[in-house]
Amino acid sequence: MKNPFFKKKKNIKINDILILLNLKKQKVNYPVNDIKELETAKKNDIAFFNSIKYLELIKKTKSRIVITNKKFTHVIPSKIKVIEVENVLLAISYVTSLFYPNSINDNFDFDVSRINKNNFKKSRFGENVLIGRNVKIGKNCSIGHNTIIESNVSIGNDCNIGNNVVIKNSIIGNNTNILDGAIIGKKGFGFFPDKKKNIRYPHIGAVIIGKNVEIGCNNTIDRGSLSNTVIGDGTFLDNQVHIAHNVKIGKNCIITGQVGFAGSSSIGNKVMIGGQSGISGHIKIGDNVQIGGGSGVIKNIPSNSKVMGYPAKNIRNFLKDNKLND
């Protein structure tokens, strides 16, 4: 799918990237189409590899150009051109900004204006609603007071959007409820400490929210960095839940208040998470998992597990350990 929210710079070639990274140019200066993650990259896209946990992905990727560190070059398939750098994520930050120059900013959309209700006759709007360009709003929707929907956002049919909501860089399915104060589609908290200052990581992904979803009051859902942040069909989020960039939450999950998801965590279907739990980044939680309130999840959890505590462990072991400590 073409990115509807960030305009990509055209005619970028491999030597443009090498010069940007202070590396030696090569004789054959071929075009590079885009920057992608390993699993979505195509032949002419550039990707990156910075952890051995993604070994299976590097074996299967269609990309023929990968940025990586010296310690990983021995596992890169020979068909892939390796661009070797000291700091992979910092290099990717620079390259992403090259392709998408405006992605580092998260400024207010100055193209928004007061709603022209004649353009959306089949939906209802409160006072002081601001709408950007190319916004799509389905039938029978209700948009609350002081809500801002920025350019290119798409909202399905039968949706209810509360008061004081901000939505940008998002695609929202049918029959979804978003309660008061939610902020959806802002950039994530991605940065790298450099020698002189912190470097912001560009976020060119979107937030994709399925159908029949409920987003509680004051939720914050960050857009993805290279991939999208996804909330599956039928999932309910309680108030004050934070979802970081690239998080994937499956279908029919129940997430209670003040749960926090760090970036790139993956949550299966029908997962239940108790209040004030924390989910570390880049981990996978299987289907039908139940996590007790106040837990800290720092490693993968297989399907059909019940866990609790910090670090989260099998709930029987947790109860046994705490009984012994009484």
- Supply the residues annotated as catalytic: 245
Q: How many angstroms separate the CA atoms of 83 and 103, rounded?
A: 23
Quote the CA–CA distance of 217 and 56 in Å, as a whole number. 39
* H-type alpha helices, the chain: 14-20, 55-60, 88-99, 315-324
The tokens for 122 are 């089949």
For the chain, the straight-line distance linking the first and the last C-alpha, in angstroms and rounded, comes to 56
What is the CA angle 7-176-162, rounded to 5?
85
Question: Which token pair is 134?
Answer: 């190319």
Residues written for the chain = 326
Cβ contacts of 188 within 8 Å, gap of 6 or more: 201, 203, 222, 223, 224, 225, 244, 245, 246, 263
Phi-psi region of 195 (alpha: psi -120 to 50; beta: other; left: phi over 0): alpha
